[in-house]
C-alpha cells in the first residue's frame, strides 16, 4: 500500500456534512425550515400559499454578503445573498409540477470558509432538499 501524502489527504473538502430535509408546509401557515447548515449560518425555509405556489427563502446569517450561482428549472444566473438577511426565490407557478432549485454558495474569507451546494425539489407542496457543505 502506498503511503498517504498528508498534503494530498488534507486539501480542502476532507471534511464535509450532508444536510437533508423534507417538509410539506400547510398552505398559508408561514415558513417552515427545510435545511439548516451547521452553525446556523445558512437556513433555508419554504412557504406554500393557498394556490400551491412555493417560495424558498435563504437566510444568510453571516455578516458578509455571499456570492452564489443559481439554477432554477434549468435557467442559470448569479446572485448575491445579502449579509444577515433573507433572499426569497419564488418557484415557477406554471409548467411542470416539479420544480428544482440549485444554489452553489461560495466561500468568503474566515467568516464563511465553506463551499455549499443546495438542491431543492418541490412538487405539489411537498419540498425536499439536500445541502453539501465542504469545509475549506
Partner 1 sequence: MHGQLNSGLDVPDGRLALVLSAAKEIEPGSRAMLLLAEGLFRLDVVVAEDTLRTVLRNLSGGVIETETTLGTITGESILFGDAATYEPGRAGLGFTITTGGDAVWVRAMIATMRFAARGTVQVGAQAILLQAPPSP
Verify binding: residue 7, partner 1, rule CB under 8 A: yes
Count the site residues for partner 1 by CB under 8 A.
46
Can you tell me the distance from the alpha carbon of 54 to that of 100, in angstroms, rounded to the nearest whole number?
11
Verify binding: residue 95, partner 1, rule CB under 8 A: no
Among 28, 33, 40, 63, binds partner 1 (CB under 8 A): 33
Among 26, 86, 106, 111, binds partner 1 (CB under 8 A): 106
Verify binding: residue 40, partner 1, rule CB under 8 A: no
DSSP H or E stretch at residue 9 = helix 6-9
Verify binding: residue 128, partner 1, rule CB under 8 A: yes
CB 68 within 8 A of CB 103: yes
DSSP designation for 1: -
Amino acid at each position: 500500500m502506498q503511503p498517504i501524502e498528508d498534503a494530498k489527504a488534507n486539501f480542502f473538502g476532507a471534511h464535509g456534512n450532508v444536510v437533508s430535509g423534507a417538509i410539506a408546509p400547510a398552505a398559508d401557515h408561514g415558513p417552515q425550515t427545510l435545511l439548516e447548515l451547521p452553525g446556523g449560518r445558512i437556513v433555508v425555509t419554504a412557504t406554500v400559499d393557498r394556490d400551491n405556489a412555493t417560495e424558498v427563502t435563504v437566510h444568510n446569517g453571516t455578516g458578509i454578503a455571499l456570492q452564489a450561482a443559481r439554477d432554477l428549472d434549468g435557467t442559470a444566473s448569479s446572485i448575491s445573498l445579502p449579509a444577515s438577511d433573507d433572499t426569497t426565490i419564488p418557484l415557477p407557478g406554471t409548467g411542470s409540477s416539479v420544480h428544482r432549485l440549485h444554489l452553489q454558495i461560495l466561500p468568503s474569507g474566515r467568516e464563511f470558509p465553506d463551499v455549499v451546494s443546495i438542491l431543492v425539489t418541490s412538487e405539489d407542496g411537498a419540498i425536499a432538499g439536500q445541502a453539501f457543505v465542504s469545509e475549506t
